[in-house]
Amino acid sequence: MGRLRSKTIQVSTYEYVLNYLEKAAKIIDLDPNVLKILKEPRKVTMVNLPIQMDDGSFQVFTGYRVQHSIVRGPGKGGVRYHPGVNLDEVKSLAAWMTWKCAVLGIPFGGAKGGITCDPKKMSPHELERLTRRYVSDLMGVLGPEKDIPAPDVNTNEQTMAWMMDTYCMNTGQYTSSIVTGKPVVLGGSRGRHAATGNGVGLSVREAANMLGMDLSKCTVAIQGFGNVGSFSALSLVSLGAKVIAVSDVNGALRNKKGLDVEALIKYTKENNGSIVGFPGAEEFDPQKLLRCKCDILIPAALENVITAKNAGSIKAKIIGEGANGPTTPDADEILFQNGVTVIPDILCNAGGVTVSYFEWVQDRMGYFWSEEDVNHRLEEHMVRAFNDVRRVAREHQCSLRMASYVLAVKRVSDVLLMRGVYA
């Protein structure tokens, strides 16, 4: 999944996670002892990975794997390769996965991994060696009943194939369910590639229905045109909406009459992933995308891009968070007061982990579903989760985000209390 990254983060991202956790705990009157447990990740693993580069020299890379909670099932979460990967980020993403799986009712806990590296400066052979060393060092942590990785920033189907093969070579048995997001020929699920974007589209559809908005009369702006942004665009267009503006790391495009999304996706594939230069659209300052006049805004790139400084100038009626953590807590309050409906990340972009769950199930059964079947099941899960969150929001007179956290924290804490704390 391509995305942009913020260069400066004023506050620890994990502090944002704790902020919502503590608010949800207060609403449901959570036992303070349970809150103490949920505030800390269950296990944090850091590994130093010496890798021989193609020129014969050695470099040592730092890798992380964080399991935030596994009370509802094995850990689930992606692995990202990026120079900015750090422990705070990985802890935050692991916690988000805990709440995301709980909101969707998926029997997984939350985990996340990453390696601090610049994959753009590494050859395929170097990346393969790095991936295999990472998995080998985490053999005691990973497993289809322990912790199941998936692709994330700068990792893909090939990365998952290397991970699966390394695990199988170390255990001496074929275990396709050790990772998700694999190629279909290795036990990957049909429909997985588009799942996150399709989930965004379904969430926006439900929010529009809730507000009495006709999608066929709605305009959409999308920040980030990688995997999530592009498939969100396709999904929303198929539902009747008109995408009028998009941006990526290179620039931004707009067309008030609507962009040809399929043609734009084809163009990016032929131009190193860039939208710049696409014919039939006007280029404009990407900094203005969040403030452009539209009915639906999809931030699908940066973390912490909607802040107290710009939240008041957002004109959209619905924000569907395709990215993880695009809105800061103070901005969230401003948007709520201004009547903007924000579909939070732990609900809106949960289509990916939902179909990852389907892939894990199919691998364990040895029986694989059609893409139509996968998409139908995805829709059932997304609609049910949206309705659950909407019900909690009505009950507590709060935003969809706060309702999502209330629902998730309640589900995780209920299971924790039922299981008890092993001592």
DSSP-derived letter for residue 291 is G
Helix axes 371-396, 87-104, angle to 10 degrees: 90
Q: 260: part of which helix (H) or strand (E)?
A: none
Q: Which of 76, 100, 112, 242 is catalytic?
A: 112
Whether 112 is catalytic = yes
How far apart (Å, rounded) are the C-alpha atoms in residues 396 and 411? 16
Count of Cβ atoms closer than 10 Å to residue 310 Cβ: 14
The H-assigned helical ranges of 28-86 are 32-39
At position 420, the amino acid (one-letter code) is: G
Residues 6+ apart with CB under 8 A from 196: 1, 227, 228, 231, 232, 322, 349, 351, 352
First to last CA, the chain: 40
**Cα(63)–Cα(113) distance, integer angstroms:** 7
The pair of three-digit structure tokens given for residue 271, joined into one six-digit string: 């131009």
184 DSSP assignment: G
SS3 120: helix
Q: Are strands 242-247 and 341-343 parallel, antiparallel or unpaired?
A: unpaired
Tokens representing 36 are 């103490």
Nearest residue to 342 via CA among 371, 306, 303, 310: 306
297 forms bridges with which residues in the sheet? Answer: 221, 319
Contact indicator for 150, 78 with CB cutoff of 8 Å: yes
Contact 100, 107 (CB under 8 A): no
Q: Name, in order, each residue with C-beta under 8 angstroms of 394's C-beta and a sequence gap of 6 or more.
A: none
Residues with catalytic roles: 112
